Chain A
Amino acid sequence: MPVHAIEPPVLEVADLSVSYAGRKGLVVEALDGVSFKVAPGEFVAVIGASGCGKSTLLKAIAGLLSDKHQVSGEVRNQAGLSLGYLFQRETLLPWRTVLDNVAVPLEAQRIPKIPRRQRARCWLKRLGLAGEEKRFPHELSGGQRQRALLARTLVYGPDVILLDEPLGSLDALARTRMQDVLLGLHRTSKQAFVLVTHDLDEALALADRVVLLAGQPGRVYREYPVNWRHSDSVLTARMAAGYAELQRRLWLDLEVEHDAVACVRA
């Protein structure tokens, strides 16, 4: 952990507030003064209930908010930082094969077709999709599609990978497998990950640090360091000492915050 404190952050969200005009001109506040840092190679999980602005936070980091949004505060990136983004919804192009879908980001970098395909093929293989290159997205299972999306995100080697509940639509088995894939990737690469999820277990099993976002608009309630980062699978992480305790604490904090919001509303 101290390593993270010394190194300059690869990404810093500083006092970020976002609001936008909702229906009937009502101003909806999504985020209120959110601040946190992401060190190089760190895995940060942002958890919170639905509607606390988690997705908005990632969109703001990626610079994908439309001009309808009012933004104050800032997102500081290291110069020349490249971002990858795994969306909640599936975003493969249905008219392209899996291979050409995975190679799409390299097209943006004007890499010629043959090396482009080679690199895409390599990543498909690493994520267990060898042999599926020629198939179309609709011919794959949900888990395979999600892995293809991950391959597409990794193929151009972004410094920071933003994950917006990417495993929400998978069945429990496929989800655990994908979590192991993510763990393995994080251990072997120097990339930083920012995962947004409402799944406590997922956050605890994968992250170096958990940021609890709560309320409407969302604020950072507290940050929790996670100490069993050497585990090589989700299962061993769950059996690590201190896991249950931290899980309980997070639950309680989530509940307290939830009740507080409910009271304010009532």
Chain B
Amino acid sequence: MLLRVCAHSLIVAVIGLVWEGLSGGLVDGFGPLNPVLFGRPSRVVGQLGALVLDPVFWPHLWITLSETLMGLAWALFAAVFLALLFVYRPLLGRLLEPWLNGINALPKLALAPFLVVWVGIGFTSKVLVSASMAFFPLFFSTLSGVRALDPELINAHRIMGFSKLQLLRVVVFPCAWRWTLSAGRAALGLALTGAVVGEFIGATGGLGYLLVGAQGFMATDRALAILVVLGVLGVGLDWAIHWLQGKSQFSFFQDAL
């Protein structure tokens, strides 16, 4: 553990030092990279400190975080609902499938400007962009999970007198849940991207909004500091999903190895 921390610190230090040197931070004003365009690590760190200490900054972080989580939640809900619909109403599923495939093939971010125009520059449009990004991996994965169910497992429990709704709770959900969660990491990254890009296009707050603002003023160091915050946010959420996956995994796969 300590060795790993040391190794990664060293990598960060080397990159930072090279960058610092190239952008003229070591020999004053002497370097091939223009610090106005490329930033300078020492100033980025200073900006990061300023951001964290600024009480105005935290609500922005909260906006992006809640947009991402809301987007993810809606995507999850829609994905599970539609996956079940596809399986329990195959005819409807066959009707909807080409449409979903078509929308999946479409770059969802291209929809973002429309959504912002239609729904407004507030919270809802970001949630929609975020959800539309996160939906597809969750949906396809859940669908595979429900389809992979052993019909004999359902039959065995049906004969005990469970209703269809109870069967969902007892057999279908626990089985499909692992599949859904396996797409969780991909969906999370996409949800965050959706929220931030949505904020780029038009917003009144959020990290993406701050980022665009900073870039607009050529405040590269500040923009880079915001990028670092976004990175930390993304990694933190990824860890959360990873932890959930670990909790819901049965261990027999590990046993087999």
Cβ proximity bits B152-187 to A, threshold 8 Å, 1 near / 0 not? 110111111110001000110011000000000000
Q: A85, B156: Cβ atoms under 8 Å?
A: yes
A85 to B157, CA, bound (A): 9
Q: A91, B150: Cβ atoms under 8 Å?
A: yes
Interface membership of B54, Cβ < 8 A: no
Q: A156, B160: Cβ atoms under 8 Å?
A: yes
Q: A94, B160: Cβ atoms under 8 Å?
A: no
Nearest CB to that of B163 among chain A residues?
A: A108
Q: B155, A108: Cβ atoms under 8 Å?
A: no
Interface membership of B250, Cβ < 8 A: yes
Q: A138, B161: Cβ atoms under 8 Å?
A: no
Distance in Å from the Cβ of A92 to the closest Cβ of chain B?
A: 9
Q: List, in ascending order, chain A residues with CB within 8 A of B157's CB.
A: 91, 104, 108
Interface membership of B99, Cβ < 8 A: no
Distance in Å from the Cβ of A137 to the closest Cβ of chain B?
A: 9
Nearest CB to that of A136 among chain B residues?
A: B250
Q: B255, A138: Cβ atoms under 8 Å?
A: yes
Q: B252, A87: Cβ atoms under 8 Å?
A: no
* B239-254 interface (Cβ within 8 A of A): 250-252
* B195-220 interface (Cβ within 8 A of A): none
Q: List, in ascending order, chain A residues with CB within 8 A of B250's CB.
A: 94-95, 136, 138
- Option from A82, A87, A108 in Cβ contact (under 8 Å) with B152: A87
Interface membership of A241, Cβ < 8 A: no
Are A105 and B161 CB-contacts (below 8 A) given A91-B150, A91-B153? yes
Nearest CB to that of B174 among chain A residues?
A: A95
Interface membership of A170, Cβ < 8 A: no
A82 to B161, CA, bound (A): 9
Q: List, in ascending order, chain B residues with CB within 8 A of A108's CB.
A: 157, 160-162, 166
Distance in Å from the Cβ of A64 to the closest Cβ of chain B?
A: 5
Q: List, in ascending order, chain B residues with CB within 8 A of A174's CB.
A: none
- Option from B150, B159, B170, B255 in Cβ contact (under 8 Å) with A107: B170
Q: A64, B170: Cβ atoms under 8 Å?
A: no
Q: B174, A93: Cβ atoms under 8 Å?
A: yes
Are A91 and B160 CB-contacts (below 8 A) given A136-B250, A136-B252, A138-B250? no
Q: A109, B174: Cβ atoms under 8 Å?
A: no
Distance in Å from the Cβ of B57 to the closest Cβ of chain A?
A: 43
Q: B174, A91: Cβ atoms under 8 Å?
A: no
Cβ proximity bits B125-154 to A, threshold 8 Å, 1 near / 0 not? 000000000000000000000000010110
Cβ proximity bits A33-67 to B, threshold 8 Å, 1 near / 0 not? 00000000000000000000000000100101000
Interface membership of A4, Cβ < 8 A: no
A5 to B140, CA, bound (A): 57
* B53-90 interface (Cβ within 8 A of A): none
Interface membership of A83, Cβ < 8 A: yes
Distance in Å from the Cβ of B20 to the closest Cβ of chain A?
A: 52
Q: List, in ascending order, chain B residues with CB within 8 A of A59's CB.
A: 155
Q: List, in ascending order, chain B residues with CB within 8 A of A93's CB.
A: 153, 170-171, 174
A82 to B40, CA, bound (A): 76
* A189-234 interface (Cβ within 8 A of B): none
* A149-199 interface (Cβ within 8 A of B): 156
Q: List, in ascending order, chain B residues with CB within 8 A of A64's CB.
A: 155, 158-159
A94 to B171, CA, bound (A): 10
Q: B252, A89: Cβ atoms under 8 Å?
A: no
Distance in Å from the Cβ of A81 to the closest Cβ of chain B?
A: 12
Q: Beyond A84-B159, A93-B153, list 7 extra A-B contacts (CB 8 Å).
A: A62-B159, A85-B159, A87-B156, A105-B160, A105-B161, A108-B160, A138-B252
Residues of A within 8 A of B (CB): 59, 62, 64, 82-85, 87-89, 91, 93-95, 104-105, 107-109, 136, 138-139, 156
Query: Could you name 30 residue pairs across A and B whose Cβ atoms are closer than 8 Å?
Result: A62-B155, A64-B158, A64-B159, A83-B159, A85-B155, A85-B156, A85-B159, A87-B155, A87-B156, A88-B152, A89-B150, A89-B152, A91-B150, A91-B152, A91-B153, A91-B156, A91-B157, A93-B153, A93-B174, A94-B250, A94-B252, A105-B160, A105-B161, A108-B157, A108-B160, A108-B161, A136-B250, A136-B251, A136-B252, A138-B255
10 closest residue pairs by CB, A with B: A91-B156, A138-B252, A105-B160, A108-B161, A108-B160, A108-B162, A85-B159, A89-B152, A64-B155, A91-B153
